[in-house]
Structure 1
Amino acid sequence: MTTTTSLPERAGRRCQNVVNPLHSTVYFSPDLAAEFAALGVEDPGAAYFVGRAAAMGAVGPGTVTATFYNFKHDLIARHIPQIWSVASPEQVLAARLRAADSTLRRLLGDATVESPEMAEAARLALRATEACTRHARPLFAAHADLPVPDAPHLAYWHAATLLREHRGDGHLVALLDAGLDGLEALVTHTASDRGAERSWVLATRGWTLEEWQAAEEGLRERGLLDAAGGLTEAGDKLRADLEDTTDRLDRAPYEHLGAADVARLTELATGFTQAAVAAGAFPKELFGKR
């Protein structure tokens, strides 16, 4: 795809930062838990793994660990692949889409879901995905093989999923190149004040407090964390460089969309995401340091 126009600095990142949350609402939704429980998936710890991994098919724990990056493998292996004998990937994907429908209607209201603005956002986001690439992006590539839903709000949710996974796959490349393993990535993100609280991360990612503290010590030895657990100047630079590298690897969809339409998608997505957050879409532990 050719670049349609140059973008303001970090315009793609700003757009992604407000598009992505609307996709993520489903993983915190009681609607998804209810849909999965009806399939026999009742452990809340399994919901995120199966919901996000199902696009890849009935994969094993190694594939999920590799593509999710910051979860402890032992936690994943407690659920995968056993869960596929309870619910097939096809059943999981259908349940996830139903949950996305009910979640967005509950958080945003039918008027917003069925509005011209939602249809416009879907068109813009889907057009951005035309420039996404599959190579070395397993989660994006798997989701790109799924059909685009007909309803505009679900088409927008699907496009948000594609944009999220495209950026996320690139971010893992950046983390690997920076020499951060999954736990170190979590520790530095939390230390940046932009990550979730440590207690929430430990409860959901499978790591122990002792493992977290050992990772902190290793990062201190590398000069990335200070004695209080905050980022040093070198640590700040590493996190900034990570995001810049991720931006570079993720620039194609936003360059393809063009500056004016990126700005418009950002405007629309900001309104949707702010409404979802105000409606209680996310746990408060997601926002704040240790």
Structure 2
Amino acid sequence: MRDGSVARAMWERFEPVHQLVYFSPEVREAAEGLGLRGYWAGYFALRAAPLGPVPASVVTSCFYVFHPDRAAAALPDAWALASPQHVLRAREQAMDAAMTGFFGPDVCASDELAEAADLAWEAARAADTAGRVLGAANQSLPRPAQPHVRLWQAVTTLREHRGDGHVAVLVSRRLGPVEALSLKSAAGETDASFQQRVRRWDGEEWRAAQARLRERGWIDEDGHITGAGTAAHAQMEAETDAAALTPWQALGAGATARLARLLEPLARRVLDSGIVPAGNPVGLTGTTWDTAG
């Protein structure tokens, strides 16, 4: 893999494994077992738990693309039902069950998965977390004993590290949450109606964001991305990739390529299974990979 593309190539391989936390029935059952009723109560508590018992405003800031009302409907009420420590314990147990159920006990007990877990953990520990709140919070968690759970936690640290960097890029470009979602949708990476619904932005807010994108010349009157918008979007993605390079530089080219090869069959299984829905928020799609080397 070329240095300029390594961060994106690794994201494409580890993000599907991380995504199991949002769509596995074992995780939903664990959240409900804590008294967190409804998908979003579980989502916000499970993802925000590494931060401690923070208020909704902090989570809205970190997660960036949600309407404030979405987080406020779940937090801080969730912390009265289960402390962040209890949520983290339940999250780890749920991912043990989810990974084992999805990939099978033989894969989870394999030497290859244990090797992937250790390489990913090494990369995650090397991630630079200055100014990256979610990445730092996940990086500070203890090392899980079980390799498949360790792998999941490592790739979660890496994806939150990358996400923190992406938010910094958006802020530096003065691209607010709704504009970012609208541009991503116009670029064909996700579904606009899906994004608007799950992030809880109303039609007026969405149209206002589109108007601001038109003023910048990034979308046309029909909401289609323009050449200038395509260039701006590509530049922001390149800046996000560049900001996410540190873990892979620390791990080294050979070990990074080895981890990529170990993650590929896991990522393919997730993407091919359909467990992650089409039009999903992060824009995951089936990917054709060249052999890493």
Length-normalised TM-score, structure 1? 0.93
Relative contact order, higher structure (CA 8 A, sep 6+): 1
Equivalent residues, number: 283
- Asked if the contact 2:16–2:284 (Cα under 8 Å) also holds between the matched residues in 1, the reply is no
For 1:82, give the aligned amino acid. D
Deviations 1:109-143 (A, max 9, x none): 11111111101111111121232122101001111
Match for residue 3 of structure 1? none
Alignment of 1:64-79 (within 5 A): 64-79=59-74
State the match for 1:263 in structure 2. Answer: 257
Q: CA deviation at 1:11?
A: 1.3
Amino acid at match of 1:151: Q
**Partner residue, 2:288:** none
Aligned residues of 1:226 and 1:232 also touching (Cα < 8 A) = yes
Q: What letter matches 1:165 in structure 2?
A: E
Whether the aligned pair in 1 keeps the contact of 2:6 and 2:245 (CA below 8 Å) is: no
Partner of 2:289: none
Pick from 197, 211, 214 the counterpart of residue 208 of structure 2: 214
Instruction: Give the aligned residue type for 1:277.
Output: L
**How do 1:144-183 and structure 2 match up within 5 A?**
144-183=139-178
1:150 maps to a residue whose letter is: A
Does 1:115 find its partner at 2:97?
no
Cα RMSD after superposing both structures: 1.7
Equivalence map 1:185-204=2 (5 Å): 185-195=180-190, 197-204=191-198
Runs of 5+ consecutive residues of structure 1 not aligned to the other structure:
1-5
Q: What is the alpha-carbon distance in structure 2 between the residues aligned to residue 143 and residue 218 of structure 1?
A: 34
Tell me the distance in 2 between the aligned counterparts of 1:33 and 1:199: 24
CA–CA distance in structure 1, aligned partners of residues 19 and 115 of structure 2: 20
1:9 match: secondary structure: helix
Q: For residues 152-188 of structure 1, what are the alpha-carbon distances to aligned partners after superposition, in whole Å with 9 as ceiling and x for unaligned?
A: 1111111101111111111110000111011111111
TM-score normalized with structure 2 length: 0.92
Q: Give the 5 Å matches for 1:91-102.
A: 91-102=86-97
Q: Deviations over 1:72-91 (max 9, x none)?
A: 01221121111211111111
Cα distance, 1:7 vs structure 2? 4.9
Structure 2: segments with no counterpart, 5+ residues: 286-293
Tell me which amino acid in the other structure corresponds to 2:11. Answer: Q
1:70 alignment partner, SS class: coil
Q: Which residue is equivalent to 1:235?
A: 229
Structure 2 contact 48–59 (Cα < 8 Å) conserved: yes
Q: Does 172-181 or 27-36 show the bigger shift?
A: 27-36
Residue 245 (structure 1) aligns with: 239
Q: CA deviation at 1:9?
A: 2.5
Structure 2 residue matching 1:149: 3-state secondary structure: coil
Displacement of 1:288 after TM fit? 8.7
Question: Can you list the C-alpha shifts for 1:223-278, whole angstroms capped at 9, x where unaligned?
Answer: 01112212111111111111111122111111111222212211211210111223
Could you tell me whether the CA contact under 8 Å between 1:33 and 1:42 is conserved in 2?
no
Which residue pairs with 2:54 in the alignment?
Answer: 59
Match of 1:282 among 246, 259, 276: 276
C-alpha distance in 1 between matches for 2:187 and 2:261: 26
Q: Give how far 1:101 is off.
A: 1.2
3-state SS of the aligned residue for 1:10?
helix
